[in-house]
Amino acid sequence: MSVLDDIVAGVREDLAVRQARTPLAEVRAQLADVDPARDPMPAFRAPGLSLIAEVKRRSPSKGALADIPDPAALATAYAAGGADAISVLTEERRFSGSLADLYAVRAAVPTPILRKDFIVTEYQLLEARAGGADLALLIVAALDDAALADLYATARGLGLTVLVEVHDEDEVERALAVGTELLGVNARNLKTLEVDPDAFGRLAALVPDGIVKVAESGIGGPSDAGRFAAQGADVALVGEALVKDGDPTSAVAAIRNAGGAR
């Protein structure tokens, strides 16, 4: 079993517990009280490098990264630095996240929010929207073609912007086949946790103009962000470097500025 398979198995177990506690119909009913989703795409398409700043406590590859007792305060610091969107990791077992973090961040900032998780069912998309998320992540490696297409359509029907994540050439083709407008290249292979520093440049060259390209993983600071921007990244998604920085507001601003004037 790969690392990704193990993570998804755990996600499904935790999901079953939540579904037993809160039926699908109840989650769907919660949507009536949620404001319309915010659209991050105009900011992502603007000149220069946009930034998705991530609330991230730990990772399978690095272990504990940062103690984040108040995710709302961290999100507020990110917003002050000019983050174009804020990613909130909600996976519990490997990343120590929760839906409570999503709710806390949503209450604290007006910035578009990405629910970052291993989404494999409609229920999770409804949870995301009910929690005030504006974007959702779909990982191509975790889904077959039918599930990817179905979840993509469901997310768009809910008003969510979908970040479709790829790791290799075949996955780029699969992402393009569902009509994605926001494609993320994760340099970290989720099956082995190895990082390929050349992945973004290689795969971005396969993505047609007009599709917003997001560089994920391997961004340790402004110099890395500038390198990815030069390779065609429109957006950088950064977690570890920001949560470990003592001044997240300045760190956000520095990474955005590394991509050129906006």
| Residue listed under structure tokens 């177990």 | 13
Q: Which residue out of 91, 127, 171, 216 is catalytically annotated? A: 216
Strand partners, 116: 89
Q: Which residue out of 50, 56, 171, 240 is catalytically annotated? A: 56
Q: Which residue out of 50, 59, 186, 189 is catalytically annotated? A: 186
Helix (H) or strand (E) holding 89: strand 85-89
Q: First vs last Cα of the chain: how many Å apart? A: 44
56 is catalytic: yes
How many whole angstroms separate alpha carbon 231 and alpha carbon 131? 34
216 is catalytic: yes
54 is catalytic: yes
User: Which of 112, 114, 103, 37 is CA-nearest to residue 71?
Assistant: 103
Q: Which residue out of 59, 87, 116, 240 is catalytically annotated? A: 116
Length of the chain: 262
217 is catalytic: yes
Per DSSP, 31 falls in state: G
169 is catalytic: no
Per DSSP, 195 falls in state: B
Cα 100 to Cα 6, 66, 155, 189, distances in angstroms? 23, 17, 21, 28
Q: Which residue out of 91, 127, 165, 171 is catalytically annotated? A: 165
- Positions annotated as catalytic residues are 54, 56, 116, 165, 186, 216-217
